[in-house]
Amino acid sequence: MPELIEVCALDDLPPGAMRLVEWEDLEIGVFNCAGTVYAIEDRCSHDDGPLAEGEFDAEHCTVECPRHGSRFDLKTGKPMTLPAYVPVDTFPVIIEDETIKLEVE
Ligand code: FES
């Protein structure tokens, strides 16, 4: 069964903002792209770079890995540029009672 975890109030993650959450042994980056919230695993599929620390482009809804520069689509987790070529995990985001929640399993 998937589990729902609370991230924060929607107001606390305005458009253009990112925050990290931990769940079990996972770190997950939660990003607000112009009002829609997306969540991806904070670990680059190329060489485990800390993706959520990379440059977040809220307009194009991408993040650039700080290690070797692969750019990832936050909506799908797919890399758009090399050297990464394998998608990273994404997590369904649910907004309930003005609170951001993630579905994890
Ligand atoms: S670790 Fe992310 S591009 Fe290499």
Predicted confidence (pLDDT) at residue 1 exceeds the cutoff of 90: no
To test the ligand 1 pocket, which listed residue (42, 62, 63, 70) has its Cβ within 8 A of the most ligand atoms?
70
Identify which of 41, 51, 62, 68 to mutate to test ligand 1's pocket (most ligand atoms within 8 A of the CB): 68
How many A from CA of 85 to the centre of ligand 1?
10
Q: What percent of the chain has pLDDT over 90?
A: 97
Q: Which residue in 57, 58, 21 sits closest to 42, CA to CA?
A: 21
Q: Which pLDDT tens digit goes with each residue over 45-84?
A: 999 999 999 999 999 999 999 999 999 999 999 999 999 9
Return d(Cα 68, Cα 57) in angstroms, integer.
Answer: 17
- Predicted confidence band of residue 27 (pLDDT cuts 50, 70, 90): very high
To which residue do tokens 């904070």 refer?
A: 42
Beta bridge partners of 81: none
pTM (predicted TM-score): 0.95
For residues 52 and 79, the answer to whether their CB atoms sit within 8 Å is no
Residues with CB under 6 A from ligand 1: 44, 46-47, 49, 65, 67-68, 70, 83-84
What pLDDT sits at residue 74? 98
Instruction: Tell me how far the alpha carbon of residue 38 lies from the centroid of ligand 1, in angstroms.
Output: 20
For 32-55, what is the mean pLDDT?
97
Residue with the two structure tokens 């253009």: 16
